[in-house]
Amino acid sequence: MEIHMKMGSDGKRKTDVRVADQAGSLRQRFPLKLLVLAELAPRDEQSAPSTIDARRTRVDKETFGAVLQSFVGRVSLTVPNRLGSGPKEWPITLPIGSIKSFHPDAVVEAVPALRDLLEIRQQLVRLRNREISYENFRTELGRLQGGGNLLGRIQSALEAGPAQSSTQRTAPPPAPVRSSTPSGEKESALDSLFDMVEAPVADRSAPESATASTSRLDRFISEVISSGRPGTPADPRAVDAVMKELDEMLGAQLDAILHHPEFQRLEAVWRGVKFLVDRTDFREPIEIDLLHAPKEQLAEIFDRDVFQPESEGTAEAPVSVIIADYIFDRSPRDIELLQDLAEKAEQLQTPLVTAVGPAFLGLESIEELEPLDAAGNLFDQTEYVKWRSLRQGNASRWLAVLFNRFLLRLPYGPEQNRVKRFDFRESVRSDRSFLWGNPAWGLASLLTASFAKTGWCSEVTGARGGGMIEDLPLREVSRRNGEKGQLPLEAPISEAHRIDLAANGILALTCRLNADAVVIPSVPSAHQPERYPDPRETALSAARAAFPYQLVAGRLSQAIGRAAGEIGEGNSPSAIGKIFTKILTEALSVDPDAIEVQAKESEERPDRYDVFITFRPDHAGLSLSAPVGLSLSLRK
């Protein structure tokens, strides 16, 4: 059938949309179905996209862990070696079975060398606390896997006790030869760490000579045993010094793993999914489906696994909103992809939410935005010809484009987000070290919250109207004027810049300094509103270009398409009006006076009725004032 959206008060400006007859019944509340598109699986070691089959997978609070494991399972990385003067790079494989797998404790347990280091640290704690003797300490070290020559050296040193002279300590024997497994991996921390460690320095990436590494090994041996002899208590100061060095070694290597681009990408996408799942009330009829789609394959996957199935109308319920976890730039390829997605979203009557990054504005980093006089002037450049063209088309009404990422978790450290088993302070020398979330996740959480409260996704603006993303992690920031404070966003954006970006189809997340909540005053779509001679028509055009209007129009359109399938032939115009009103008020949980249905014989096709449906959001308790008008044709 064809459903026409009336965009003007005269009903002449409309969008023609073909909607397949939908399966199922509307005799119960119409559910909200979110489809999340993201690259959910790990890339291979050459950064090629995963080859897993694209499939929709339902996720909620109960199934999140199992779904994560099914998409990820494990990730193989080649990380910089921060433990010593051996190979510069170190291949590791980490099991990913839950969101906790991204935590430092889980990473340490998954890497044998780090696990052995942690075990040594734990035994040092016991030695310091006089829970074990030197002999017990030596025995516990001996239980570690492998170790060979170095383990024997430590044991000999422990047996020799403090009788070693300072001369002996400053002239250490040659570093032992490391034994290796057939795969090339070191057998244990005692081989892989103590014989090629770096002294803790300000820059953890700086290499150290083999001589310095050997000296540090000798210090490790001597400091632990020099404060006494077997059978006497350990000097806590000496043990604490060694533990501090162990923590430095663990921290240096953990930073290299946590900040590896692929590990960071995976953690961000799955913490984004969890952010949405945790903030969704699944007691309401809300469904969230995940679809793996690398950006390089997005056009193909979207057409095959989203557009075609949804057009056929074979699903139990159509997709209500699409959340696309990608960052687009202003390149012709990306703008063409956005155009394609918007056009297909329009045909499906399904709003789509995604994001752009600083490169979309021609910036190297988001901090470069603050000193600009007027962000809107950027869009006058020739690089935005395609973007301006996209905005003028009706398809852009169905597209919301966000900007400015938010913090998904705090950096690990003693004061906040503490790692309990050892002293770890995550290195965050630049903004790239933080774990950022796509701003689309923030808007998605408001959509589900609005639906749970009102039955509609449109109440997502204003501090009191559902437009507040609360309880976000905060980080320290310094503004150009010298003002310091805390912020949950990638960068502070002025109100003037926010307005300029909104006028050009971009929703920028903003918040006050020292506030843990983002307030969204308005949600523009990417569409450029039309201007008319009549100011009232221009104002109405602007209201209908807002994304909440499309959220209402999309849900109404899909509900009408489903309701039309339940109306058989042979009904009079008045009967059609009553049936439509009854079905829609039940499915959308609104009062009958919010819906007006008129049916009359078609002037062009005598065998059909033209049905005109007007929905008044303000009569349904919604904040939108502009009525939504749609029309369709039914057989008599």
Three-state secondary structure of 93-106: EEEECCHHHHCHHH
Note the pLDDT of residue 233: 67
Question: For 629, phi and psi rounded to 5 degrees?
Answer: -115, 130
User: How does the average pLDDT of the chain come out, rounded?
Assistant: 83
257 pLDDT exceeds 90? yes
Among 205-209, 405-409, 551-555, which stretch is predicted with the lowest mean pLDDT?
Answer: 205-209
Beta-sheet pairing, 608-615 with 628-635? antiparallel
Cα R_g (the chain), whole angstroms = 31
Whole-Å CA distances, 148 to 475, 524, 537? 45, 65, 83
Q: How far apart are CA 603 and CA 631, in angstroms?
A: 14
Note the pLDDT of residue 241: 82
Q: Please compute, for residue 209, the number of CA atoms within 13 A of its CA located in the half-sphere on the CB side.
A: 3
Among 342-346, 395-399, 408-412, 606-610, which stretch is predicted with the lowest mean pLDDT?
Answer: 606-610
161 pLDDT exceeds 50? no
Angle (CA) 398 403 404, round 5°: 155
8 A C-beta contact, residue 630 and residue 5? yes
Regarding predicted confidence, which is higher, 392 or 12?
A: 392
Among 228-242, 246-260, 555-569, which stretch is predicted with the lowest mean pLDDT?
Answer: 228-242
What's the whole-number mean pLDDT along residues 422-428? 93
411 pLDDT exceeds 60? yes
8 A C-beta contact, residue 597 and residue 624? no
Regarding predicted confidence, which is higher, 115 or 326?
A: 326
162 pLDDT exceeds 60? no
Regarding predicted confidence, which is higher, 355 or 311?
A: 355
Band (192; pLDDT cuts 50, 70, 90): very low
Q: Which of 158-172, 334-348, 470-484, 544-558 has the highest mean pLDDT?
A: 334-348
Q: Which of 118, 101, 393 is nearest to 251 (CA)?
A: 118
Beta-sheet pairing, 484-487 with 507-508? unpaired
Regarding predicted confidence, which is higher, 152 or 408?
A: 408
What's the whole-number mean pLDDT along residues 338-352? 97
Say which amino acid occupies 422.
F
342 pLDDT exceeds 90? yes
165 pLDDT exceeds 70? no
Note the pLDDT of residue 159: 45
2 pLDDT exceeds 70? no
Beta-sheet pairing, 436-437 with 484-487? unpaired
H-helix segments, 383-438: 385-392
Note the pLDDT of residue 15: 43
Note the pLDDT of residue 244: 86
Q: Which distant-in-sequence residues (6+ apart) come within 8 Å of 245 by Cβ?
A: 199, 200, 216, 220
What letters, b where the CB count within 10 A reaches 16 and e where it falls short, cover 151-171?
A: bebbeebbeeeeeeeeeebee
Note the pLDDT of residue 225: 52
Q: How far apart are CA 344 and CA 7, in angstroms?
A: 19
Residues in the chain: 636
Band (599; pLDDT cuts 50, 70, 90): very high
Note the pLDDT of residue 328: 99
8 A C-beta contact, residue 276 and residue 67? no
Note the pLDDT of residue 213: 37
Note the pLDDT of residue 216: 47
What's the whole-number mean pLDDT along residues 184-194? 40
Q: Which of 344, 453, 460, 454 is nearest to 402 (CA)?
A: 460
**Which tens digits make up the pLDDT trace of 498-508?**
999 999 999 99
Among 31-45, 209-223, 370-384, which stretch is predicted with the lowest mean pLDDT?
Answer: 209-223
Could you give the percent of the chain with pLDDT greater than 70?
A: 80
391 pLDDT exceeds 90? yes
What's the whole-number mean pLDDT along residues 228-245? 73
Angle (CA) 298 357 58, round 5°: 40
597 pLDDT exceeds 50? yes
Note the pLDDT of residue 592: 92
172 pLDDT exceeds 80? no
Note the pLDDT of residue 541: 87
Whole-Å CA distances, 620 to 385, 556, 589, 590, 623? 40, 13, 9, 6, 9
